[in-house]
Amino acid sequence: MVTIKNETTSPDRAMETTVEAIAREAGQIALAHFRSLATLPVERKGHLDLVTDADRDVEEFLIASLRKAFPEDGVYGEEGGDITGVSGRIWVIDPIDGTFNFVRGSQNWAISIGLFDNRQPVFGAIFAPARDLMITGGNAIEAQINGNPIPMLPLFDLSRASTGIGLHPSIATEDRLEVLRFISDELRINFRCCGSSALSLVEIAMGETDGYIALGDSTWDVMAGLPILASLGVSHTIDWSRIDLQAKLRFACGSDVFLTRMGPLLDRVSVAA
């Protein structure tokens, strides 16, 4: 992987505009695959090869476009893309986050492009093409949804609280059950699983949930969403100085009050990375 340098170039609006354009064009490629799935006979829908084709085509476009726009940067992708750069910056991409939703015809899937610099996520763009939803933001860049500033997030209110969850099948059953038990029995709050880690983070930005608990997410699942949320004052429990880009993550994100409430759960299932 790329050797991280001390110097850094802060994200700016020009970068945001470029990445947003790349994400939108990638979205058109993904939408073409998505629409073709709808025309297939039922027995062919959900076939792994179809998703692999879409993932590969979108990732190849993202890598080529990011390399052209930012030739000194590295690129690291879910589908095996690992391009070494010289700047110390790495674009971490997920061509289609929420592939199960994608196959089933749900609109809850997204293209995720995050910038990793100085061992920190610093900028992100998430585009949900089927919903025509674009969210961007990061260090010194105001978070926006479809070009409009995101309003101040509501304060945590336990009586109406909700959290997103992401539980990878590889995680031990007892840990997955403990997450559900703690949220339901001890906190007694609502939970939801939209099937896309990137869009689970977008739900926080839109005020639809108060936080997110994940066991088994990959770095490319969250690299775009976390810097967007950070610009809105949302914290997380990941120590990036100890994380390799290949790592599976156990973490929580939300307001400081939310994370305090989740503290006992974090201790029990070692969510804090």
E-strand ranges in 139-184 read: 141-145, 148-149, 162-167
Q: Which fold has domain 162-267?
A: D-Maltodextrin-Binding Protein; domain 2 (3.40.190)
Query: Residue 19 pLDDT > 90, yes or no?
Result: yes
Q: Which fold has domain 11-149?
A: Fructose-1,6-Bisphosphatase; Chain A, domain 1 (3.30.540)
185 is in an annotated binding site: no
HSE-up of residue 101 (Cα within 13 Å, Cβ side):
21
Whether 94 has a binding-site annotation, put simply, is: yes
Q: Do domains 11-149 and 162-267 have the same CATH topology?
A: no
- Look up residue 12 and give its two tokens: 């700016």
Q: Is 117 within any annotated ligand binding site?
A: no
Q: How far apart are CA 151 and CA 25, in angstroms?
A: 27
| Spans of all domains in the chain | 11-149, 162-267
Residues with Cβ within 8 Å of 68's Cβ and at least 6 positions away in sequence, in order, are none
Question: Sorting pLDDT into bands at 50, 70 and 90, what band is 11?
Answer: confident
pLDDT in tens, 148-187: 999 989 899 999 999 999 999 899 999 999 999 999 999 9
Question: Is there a binding annotation on residue 73?
Answer: no
- Report the DSSP beta bridge partners of residue 185: none
Cα–Cα–Cα angle for 140, 146, 151, rounded to 5 degrees: 60
Is residue 16 a known part of a binding site? no
